[in-house]
Amino acid sequence: MEKRSNLIIVAVDGSEQSYKAVQEANKIACPELDRLILLMVKDVRRFYGISNAGAEEIPALDRIAKRSLLEAARRVNPEITFATKELIGNAKRKLVDFAREEKADLIVMGATGADFFEHLLLGSTTHYVIDHAPCDVLIVK
């Protein structure tokens, strides 16, 4: 029986757990068949809504996102085909919607790194993705 290719989305947010998710995806992906998409979702409402920051903070957010994606890309096995993607919006919803649109086979992401207050205020991205994803989800600690 011939193995089919898989699309694996790795959620990247600049945290050490998201980089561990990249390492786990390296172990799972078959270099000849599978491909990875390293996905960064820039959640600007965190800047506008919670921190009271303004438009001047957006370039800083862009730099952080690009740096995080570059670091994640550096950690991908060079034998595995991958791409990077940046989206803007609510991280948990964008991740699930993107997985649905791309017909992903697996989402790999770090366990929540938010502190208790942020967890109560924003809700858990991890829990939302587990409940709403159109594919399997692997949570990396």
Tell me whether residue 2 is in a domain: no
* pLDDT for res 121: 47
Tell me whether residue 127 is in a domain: yes
Higher-pLDDT residue of 5 and 22 is 22
Tell me whether residue 1 is in a domain: no
Residue 73, pLDDT above cutoff 50:
yes
pLDDT digits (tens, 9 = 90+) for 110-135: 986 544 544 554 458 889 999 999 99
Into how many domains does the chain fold?
Answer: 1
Of 1-5, 34-38, 112-116, the poorest mean pLDDT is in: 112-116
Tell me whether residue 70 is in a domain: yes
Question: What is the reported pTM?
Answer: 0.86
Nearest to 38 by CA among 78, 71, 16: 71
Full domain range(s) for residue 94: 7-140
pLDDT digits (tens, 9 = 90+) for 6-31: 999 999 998 899 999 999 999 999 99
Tell me whether residue 96 is in a domain: yes
* CATH code of the domain covering residue 123: 3.40.50.620
State the Cα–Cα distance between residues 17 and 30, nearest whole angstrom: 22
